[in-house]
Structure 1
């Protein structure tokens, strides 16, 4: 087994159609193209020997590295400090438009800012998760090389003219195994580097001025985008970084948000809890509407709304209103799960899975999250088209008929279906939001039936999901297991945050699920989920806990818990899915859920600190505040291409 960097020792760059991870030693060890969910070209993060990588670093082993993002951008700088000088690798991907393309560009600009630095770069692509062999063809006059594997290709362009320093030539290329190595040295003020292109371009020499222009254009895009944020709260730097990270995980041609840009990173190192997260979960993406609207990004919220409406239309057409829980970024649902048996997995964490077998699960909560996001969008002036409303009404009729059946639940357990409380809570939300939309907009709907079923769900939750002996709402009826997903009960308005039943539930979670500021989603030993091993605390749940504390009158605890959570971010302000016992990041990285929850917790905690607990009502205040602050902004129609 080769050497693996820590999961948290990475930064993310991207062009809004795909993304790459760069570790603190200047290695790109994860890159898929042409989309997030395409086969990998660099995958050393999941197999150090056979996964493929692109590395730029000093020749000496005696160096110190630091990483940072250029302010307000997704441009990543890895700094190398040696005895002879200081060099920087500036990594970025020029942002693409909304048209899907196979042509993606990854720029790696190397410059020395002090002294002299001898460097080496090595490019070892491995196409199709290392399953497809490739050919190498050199360009004319040392301009670069092109790797081809079937209909896939990767072109390496040289940046700048060769520069002589004594007998060394900056940028000498040699063949190494299935890849190439570039070596040389630079003095302070000199720039070189490489540009990687997918899509079959011929190798060419690119001038430093051209690279500088690409850098300036990419910087301008991100600065313009971040300047649109309306957030003026206490934690602007962390909220902005989370917003940029979410934007990097959004597929611009459709507006779909992937759960993470990676696959196979383990929830327990060496264990089997390793999943492919490069897809769009209805749940995760629906949560993004709250965060995006709260930050003023109406266009992005509307784009996802159109994507979601198309999925609802398809569900009504093909399945009488039952949504799938996840889709590919283009809206297709072919997510057959398979294992890459030839890969070792991150630090031996096997199997390495691509695709996702949970795609066919029944998870009832997604209907509530979808309807809540639509309701919130509507409250912000994003008009729901007539055909889209009819599709939603058909979906809610399906909920009326099916809310009371066992399911796999929000955590996608593989231990059998259960009548999960959270699924019932969110079915209540789905019907409640549908009723409100019908009444406020005068839309046709069987409101009496929806109200009857909504109230039946409420009564069942209060009667069967409440455990009087524990003094808490539990994971599902008939068990005494606690579940952190229920932290959303007061946040969504099903129960008042000061209700004695809720305060008692929160105290039970304090005692059993909370470790310092960190929150476990449930206890796997008490609630078997069909998988071996354990897992870390769930970052999203920890931020939900912050919000629940604040709304329940425990403001000082909430603020301290939030500040503690910020210390668990990596050096760039990024979070994976989980946090381990010693503070290490676990699971796919970075995780959209984690950053969505951070943004929501920051916005809601700001409001509570400004106005006091209980003065800000759940769900609607953000929308109302944003609506009041809009100054003649655009009106969007949430109808999708299907209606």
Structure 2
């Protein structure tokens, strides 16, 4: 792990009140990148031009150094509300004051490759709903995580910020001036809007290349066209959904969130659009999730296929096919657990030591060393996603089948190895039961595909290996004294201490068809999870005190595990308990239906936000509970 300067920010840093709760944000995006907009009207997170680019606005991680774009009334605000324009990702923030009501409409028009004049844009339309409002605006970008200086130039209808790597042009129909103490780097303005009037701002991103042109003037008609086109895109996209069940609003919001986390040019699905948000306030478990985890993306494929979004599934399979073709044996196996959106596997961690961190939670890390870990479970998740696409999509090609057979040949030789597994522990490699489970899935799904389509396969060898993995899990992954499946396999030497650590990931056993959901061994594991890992409907992934993971501090409950819990209850016949748990989990969503990676016991959102893994698990649990209820 290397740092930009290796130093921590000064003690004390920024007061907590300068940071909104993580949950007090909505998400907008253009399928290239995404921004977080707070309920106070401040954009405090945006990386441009891609998800994994350095931040432009990053006050979410440092209220002093990070940069932001704020629009707010000059008079006190009595109440704030935020919601999505129906069936879209256009975010509306309403502020109620004694002088009237104002709303900010934030959205990013979808880029179209066939339209060369369509730049990446972020639109902010400020509308006076009632009364006359006096507003202030401050645009304070801080390029490259706040490390790069920039030049501010006035334009006839806005301002331009230029750094060595990026140009931001903001055009507006209200005056913007250079302002700020010290070196002038911010654009500021004060304006009044009467009832029914609007103020318009359009930010465009571009690479430095001399003359950036005059751009399109900002006007009500042009902005309305962008708004209407964005509404049309999202509503047309959502009409593809085949879901008509009980929880349509939550399922469709989760689907749109997954779509927002998709990099359309490559088909990659990132884990989350943020980095550095803590799993415990003030703690050091602060990771960069702006990348593609094979595991997360594979589960996303399942969720999208189940909802009828075959185009997204096909795009991801295209991305995945390239990773299969590029695979080569290495210390972490032929595939990596984590990739960049364009397929690079080297993502070295860098400590951004100049950033204070969200509410003092440091170190803030960019990059992710998990890309170099051995995580054997990814092979099962990957091959299972290909199996589903082969079954419900267009089917796989001869070249893809050959690549899969080569990867399976490697797995046949290495499945009985220690690894870091699904939770990416940093306490050294272990014999994880979940990894064995997913190795079984990899072999079993290859057998299924070969038999269904008559594909060439060494079925005798594959079947023998599948059965060997099954017997090992049942013999060493099962603890007869506690009558539970456990996180790590028991030592081959019977003299070793018995394994007793529970792992919520093992709730997936019936979902991947390893055991029946009514198998006595699974039912007793469910009971153990209920008593030891479940707090109300919230589920811890494991007990880090009982099973040290090489990291300091504690963490919240894992949102994805909570939805796995719902599905486990539904599959094992506890329909009413499953429904109650799902309804309780819905109460932990934020005000616009988004979930972070973790939920604290007081309901606060923790970790990177929003997390794709959680939203795909919500979709899966709702679909399967709907089916169980009839």
**TM-score relative to the length of structure 1:** 0.91
Q: Output aligned runs, 1:16-35, within 5 Å.
A: 16-35=31-50
**Cα separation, 2, equivalents of 1:328 and 1:522:** 28
Distance 1:231 1:149, change over 3 A: same
Q: Secondary structure at the match of 1:261?
A: coil
**Cα separation, 1, equivalents of 2:120 and 2:160:** 14
**Cα separation, 2, equivalents of 1:361 and 1:351:** 21
Partner in structure 2 of residue 156 of structure 1: 170
**Cα separation, 2, equivalents of 1:111 and 1:173:** 21
**Cα separation, 2, equivalents of 1:316 and 1:393:** 13
Which of 56, 68, 71 is the equivalent residue of 1:53?
A: 68
For residues 535-568 of structure 1, the C-alpha deviation after alignment (integer angstroms, 9 at most, x for no partner) is 0000000000100001101110000000000000
**Cα separation, 2, equivalents of 1:226 and 1:567:** 24
Whether 1:556 aligns to 2:570 is no
Q: Output aligned runs, 1:384-423, within 5 Å.
A: 384-423=396-435
For residues 400-454 of structure 1, the C-alpha deviation after alignment (integer angstroms, 9 at most, x for no partner) is 0000010001000001110000000000000000011111111111111111111
Q: Secondary structure at the match of 1:63?
A: strand
**Cα separation, 1, equivalents of 2:629 and 2:558:** 25
Partner in structure 1 of residue 586 of structure 2: 566
State the shift of 1:98 in Å: 5.4
Unaligned residue ranges in structure 2 (runs of 5+): 1-13, 491-498
**Cα separation, 2, equivalents of 1:321 and 1:484:** 25
**Cα separation, 1, equivalents of 2:432 and 2:165:** 46
Which of 552, 564, 584 is the equivalent residue of 1:532?
A: 552
Q: Output aligned runs, 1:246-257, within 5 Å.
A: 246-257=258-269
State the shift of 1:334 in Å: 2.4
Whether 1:584 aligns to 2:604 is yes
Distance 1:123 1:274, change over 3 A: same
Q: Secondary structure at the match of 2:529?
A: helix
Q: Output aligned runs, 1:331-480, within 5 Å.
A: 331-478=343-490, 479-480=499-500
Which of 520, 533, 546 is the equivalent residue of 1:513?
A: 533
Partner in structure 2 of residue 596 of structure 1: 616
Distance 1:45 1:202, change over 3 A: farther
State the shift of 1:337 in Å: 0.5
Whether 1:126 aligns to 2:119 is no
Distance 1:496 1:440, change over 3 A: same
- The 8 Å contact of residues 155 and 198 in structure 1, kept in 2 or not, is answered as yes
Q: Secondary structure at the match of 2:131?
A: strand
Partner in structure 2 of residue 617 of structure 1: none
- The 8 Å contact of residues 43 and 52 in structure 1, kept in 2 or not, is answered as yes
Whether 1:5 aligns to 2:20 is yes
The farther-off stretch of 402-411 and 310-319 is 310-319
Partner in structure 2 of residue 183 of structure 1: 190
Partner in structure 2 of residue 39 of structure 1: 54
State the shift of 1:505 in Å: 0.7
- The 8 Å contact of residues 155 and 202 in structure 1, kept in 2 or not, is answered as no
**Cα separation, 2, equivalents of 1:318 and 1:510:** 40
* Alignment RMSD (CA, Å): 1.5
Partner in structure 1 of residue 80 of structure 2: 65
**Cα separation, 2, equivalents of 1:381 and 1:57:** 48
**Cα separation, 2, equivalents of 1:429 and 1:172:** 59
Whether 1:488 aligns to 2:504 is no
Which of 214, 218, 221 is the equivalent residue of 2:226?
A: 214
**Cα separation, 1, equivalents of 2:329 and 2:413:** 17
**TM-score relative to the length of structure 2:** 0.93
State the shift of 1:172 in Å: 5.2
For residues 358-395 of structure 1, the C-alpha deviation after alignment (integer angstroms, 9 at most, x for no partner) is 11000010000001001111111421100110000011
State the shift of 1:7 in Å: 0.2
Partner in structure 2 of residue 112 of structure 1: 128
Q: Secondary structure at the match of 2:576?
A: helix
State the shift of 1:176 in Å: 2.0
**Cα separation, 2, equivalents of 1:288 and 1:582:** 28
Unaligned residue ranges in structure 1 (runs of 5+): 163-170, 611-643
Partner in structure 1 of residue 628 of structure 2: 608
State the shift of 1:174 in Å: 4.2
State the shift of 1:61 in Å: 2.8
Whether 1:144 aligns to 2:133 is no
Partner in structure 1 of residue 29 of structure 2: 14
Partner in structure 1 of residue 493 of structure 2: none
**Cα separation, 2, equivalents of 1:463 and 1:398:** 24
The farther-off stretch of 523-532 and 318-327 is 318-327
Q: Secondary structure at the match of 2:628?
A: helix
Whether 1:87 aligns to 2:102 is yes
**Cα separation, 1, equivalents of 2:115 and 2:272:** 19
For residues 226-283 of structure 1, the C-alpha deviation after alignment (integer angstroms, 9 at most, x for no partner) is 1111100000000010000110000000111000000000000100000000000000
Q: Secondary structure at the match of 1:20?
A: strand
- The 8 Å contact of residues 484 and 509 in structure 1, kept in 2 or not, is answered as yes
**Cα separation, 2, equivalents of 1:209 and 1:134:** 32
**Cα separation, 2, equivalents of 1:430 and 1:98:** 36
Distance 1:361 1:107, change over 3 A: same
**Cα separation, 2, equivalents of 1:571 and 1:351:** 29
Q: Secondary structure at the match of 1:490?
A: coil
**Cα separation, 2, equivalents of 1:558 and 1:230:** 23
Q: Secondary structure at the match of 1:535?
A: coil
**Cα separation, 2, equivalents of 1:432 and 1:467:** 24
Q: Secondary structure at the match of 1:384?
A: coil
**Cα separation, 2, equivalents of 1:286 and 1:331:** 15
